[in-house]
Amino acid sequence: MHADRPAQLVNALTVDVEDYFQVSAFAGPIAPSSWDARECRVERNVDRILALLAADGVKATFFTLGWIAERYPDLVRAIVDEGHEIASHGYGHERASDLSQARFYADVNLAKLILEDLSGCEVKGYRAPSFSIGAGNLWAFDSLVRAGYRYSSSVYPIRHDHYGMPESPRYAHRVRPELLEIPLTTMRLFERNFPSSGGGYFRLLPYRVSRWMLRRVNRQEGQAGIFYFHPWEIDTGQPQIAGISRKARFRHYLNIHRMEARLKRLLSDFCWGRMDQIFLGAGAPGTASVAASA
């Protein structure tokens, strides 16, 4: 399998570290004030992910909630000790589009301070919950610069009912002189962007389709891909949440039992690395993509 990897091109493997009860689709039936009373499963799931990556010698970027880091500092230290990048997912998993500029800055600044204090590392990257930076709140980039971030991976250039900015550049580009935006990967076909970055689409589509899309981006466009998933996506034992819509239930629970096996295939079929090393490291594989904007 390894011999069939696209030669000399490293893709970015990313994990959005949040627990099952913190997803945006559950914001109605689960109030943040109740989070501390819920069974937390994120530690055991991150441990499984770390073991999975270690078995294949893969390094990744973990976009971690400040709320999680405060309560599970050993989780942050374990990620760093294994050689992975710690990045920010904000503090309380609030969508950037739901916050004022002042509240957004307070959220991303607090998360960065917490993660840096616990990890002993500079936190360079940020990913907005639900990819919630779009045309209506581009001021968020100014807040990220002010907080000291060096890159964001918060824009998904697709059409979606909860997020998306399809007119945005598809590859890494400067949104401010000090800040690089690294969008989620899409495949361009029939004058439309198709999601090719993981998440629920990776569980929905047959694995061979996801593999074909990423290979196309690597081989035909010569670009590094960005793949993401969540710790709860490998957790078949998580509680079933009542009071959610059929659409939310379908999106959240679909094919969770197949996710770990698919991840193992994905790790074998492609080369993977950390966001900071691919896109910020001088001469690192994938840095050529920073110049691309279409």
- Taking CA atoms, 71 is separated from 30, 74, 84, 105, 121, in Å, by 19, 9, 20, 22, 18
Scored b (16 or more CB within 10 A) or e, 154-193 reads bbbbbeeeebbbeebbbbbbebeeebbbbbbbbbbeeeeb
Selected residue with higher pLDDT from 283 and 127: 127
Over residues 188-200, the mean pLDDT reads 85
- Looking at residue 293, its pLDDT comes to 36
Q: How do residues 50-71 score in pLDDT, each as one tens digit?
A: 999 999 999 999 999 999 999 9
Pick 281 or 186 by higher pLDDT: 186
Which CATH superfamily does the domain covering 2-291 fall into?
Glycoside hydrolase/deacetylase (3.20.20.370)
Which among 101, 88, 100, 172 is positioned nearest to 129, based on CA atoms?
88
So what's the pLDDT on residue 160?
A: 61
Q: Is residue 47 classed as helix, strand or coil in its secondary structure? A: helix
Mean pLDDT of 195-215: 92
Which of 5, 19, 4, 8 lies closest to 64 in space, CA to CA?
A: 19
pLDDT attached to residue 7: 53
* C-alpha to C-alpha distance for 119 and 43, rounded to whole angstroms: 16
What CA–CA distance (Å, rounded) separates 248 from 98?
A: 19
